Homo-oligomer: A and B are copies of this chain.
């Protein structure tokens, strides 16, 4: 069986930057998982003694606290600052941008549509920067956007890891029915590149393995894109999730990985599949 890697896959700039920073701060504590990859977070714990705490009140005092790549809520950041906590901020610059945009648009009185998942930490963080929360509408689909009525002066941003086609569909719907739509394409470049590469790869393969965290938004989009072209597309966190029967009678196996998937996991998966033949 031939193995093909996507033209672009794996670590984005923001994730690589966060890991580089954290490796320079051993014995620090991340507030929430640093990235959406449990195995990599575990490695940082094992090799650099980087701890993980999920609740603000449980964060240790007088120790270095790391802000995760997805950012945190403005109120939480202010609390940490007022406690004089030593803060290392690894919020991805692509996430800081929508935080800044929503803050500015909110001040200018726009109704703001956030294309994203209500429960995703990035979205919780971004939305917290709006001064008028009553004018912020989180929608995860075009159907949810269609339910919004009588909005004037609309600005729209996207979770950085959403599928660009879905974002464009929503924008197109809004343009038809609104006089002004201020569109901020906040989908990050790495996400776009990984999506495009997965689209191409999945057209050339009869099985595609997507490696990434099950809670990773950008990884889910890769699975969705791949499945459109190749029915046998599977999302795994590591080689342990592989069922060997998937590969029966397959000729070309594509491999791609989400933006928070480290190279060491990808290498392990690739070696495992190579040995199947």
Segment with Cβ contacts to B, from A126-134, A173-181, A239-247, A266-274: A173-181
**How many Å from the CB of A130 to the closest CB on chain B?**
18
**How many Å from the CB of A162 to the closest CB on chain B?**
13
Write out the residue numbers on chain B whose beta carbons fall within 8 Å of the beta carbon of A184. 179-180
Q: Which of A167-194 contact B (CB under 8 A)?
A: 167-168, 171-172, 175-176, 178-186
**How many Å from the CB of A169 to the closest CB on chain B?**
10
Do A180 and B183 contact each other (CB < 8 Å), given the known contacts A172-B168, A172-B172? yes
Per the bound structure, the CA–CA distance linking A180 and B164 in Å amounts to 14
Copies of the chain in the assembly = 2
Q: Which of A233-251 contact B (CB under 8 A)?
A: none
Per the bound structure, the CA–CA distance linking A183 and B184 in Å amounts to 10
Per the bound structure, the CA–CA distance linking A248 and B168 in Å amounts to 45
Per the bound structure, the CA–CA distance linking A185 and B154 in Å amounts to 12
Q: Which residue of B lies closest to A180 (CB)?
A: B184
Write out the residue numbers on chain B whose beta carbons fall within 8 Å of the beta carbon of A179. 97, 184-186
Q: Which residues of A contact B (CB under 8 A)?
A: 97, 164, 167-168, 171-172, 175-176, 178-186
Contact A183 B185 (CB under 8 A): no
Per the bound structure, the CA–CA distance linking A91 and B185 in Å amounts to 35
**How many Å from the CB of A166 to the closest CB on chain B?**
12
A-B contact pairs, 21 of them (CB 8 A): A164-B176, A167-B175, A168-B175, A168-B176, A171-B171, A171-B175, A172-B172, A175-B183, A175-B185, A176-B185, A178-B185, A179-B184, A179-B185, A179-B186, A180-B182, A180-B183, A180-B184, A180-B185, A181-B183, A181-B185, A182-B182
- The list of the 3 closest CB pairs from A to B, nearest first, reads A181-B183, A182-B182, A175-B185
Given A164-B176, A168-B175, A171-B171, 8 further pairs, Cβ under 8 A: A97-B179, A167-B175, A168-B172, A171-B183, A175-B185, A178-B185, A180-B182, A180-B183
